Structure 1
């Protein structure tokens, strides 16, 4: 891995559900661009010394002009952030959640999930929220896979099927 000052560095979390972090290389002490790098993280603004592992890539296109190219520049990674908004409404023992992709293709992708409390169960709103949101997210995932299946079919010129 090679980097230069100004390149963007992206690191996946080492734990399930952890955040993907990105930052800018502010210092590269080796002239050949080899690690370690000093990186200013976009989420906290702090600078740390980074020894990148297999879960890290350098986006040289984001860096200074002329740094991309060669064998290292031929394989670029990507990092995207899609936000999902979940709106939960509860009324009379029934909970409805709407999950919607806010920024990212496909735009306006949404799904709804419902939960209903049994008459004899204690009233614990958080449980209804969790069930309705989980069902909305599951349906949103299914819709996203359906859209992707259509995109794959269009790209390959015949009906495609994604395993779910």
Structure 2
């Protein structure tokens, strides 16, 4: 990402439904236009140092017509929740990973197991880690399978998504 003084910075909110901020680059400490940038925000007039991320767009200064153009629509931002529940009993641990993507998409569930070798010391956290990792890996596989199914449904062709 490169910017120069006068360019417009637009930053999508990291929170669903949050405000999109925009401002003008008023300072670039590096001659090559690389970050960070000193930005004056249009909503507060405050100047801050900005290290742009993936949610940031630079609109290069294109004169008055460019400045009059309305800001782009905000980036799509979602939050998906993953909950891992663990049950340990007699040297065996079971983990259930549940993905709740949102109201428009159904939940996905996967289970992972870990069993302690009888010769090993009793360290429950290790069983938790192994069972949770296995459940999360299976959950990731199920999500990729769901994506393949959805792509196939949209395109009419068998899809394969590389893990």
Q: TM-score, normalised by structure 1?
A: 0.64
Highest Rg: 1 or 2?
A: 2
Map of 2:63 onto structure 1? none
**Structure 1 residues 25 and 102 mapped into 2: Cα distance closer, same or farther (>3 Å)?**
closer
What's the offset of the Cα at 1:157? 1.2
Which consecutive unaligned segments of at least 5 residues does structure 1 have? 11-20, 40-46, 59-68
Distance 1:72 1:38, change over 3 A: closer
Asked if 1:73 corresponds to 2:40, the answer is no
| Residue in structure 2 matched with residue 120 of structure 1 by the alignment | 119
Give the superposition deviation at 1:26.
7.2
User: Following the alignment from structure 2 to structure 1, what is the Cα–Cα distance between the partners of residues 111 and 88?
Assistant: 13
Cα pair distance change 1:159/1:26, threshold 3 Å: closer
Structure 2 residue ranges without an equivalent (≥5) = 1-6, 26-36, 58-67
- State the SS of the aligned residue for 1:99: strand
Please report the RMSD computed on the Cα atoms of aligned residues, expressed in angstroms: 3.6
1:90 is aligned to 88
Residue 63 of structure 1 corresponds to none
Which residue pairs with 1:43 in the alignment?
A: none
What does residue range 81-160 of structure 1 map to in structure 2 within 5 Å?
Answer: 81-104=79-102, 106-160=105-159
4+ long deviations beyond 3 Å = 1-4, 21-30, 69-72
Alignment length, in residue pairs? 131
2: CA distance, partners of 1:28 / 1:139 = 43
CA distance in 2, matches of 1:96, 1:48: 51
For residues 46-87 of structure 1, give each alpha carbon's deviation from its aligned partner in whole angstroms, at most 9, with x where no partner exists: x993525252336xxxxxxxxxx958627x522211010000
SS of residue paired to 1:84: strand
1:80-104 deviation line (CA, Å, top 9, x unaligned): 1101000000000000000001243
Q: Secondary structure at the match of 1:36?
A: strand
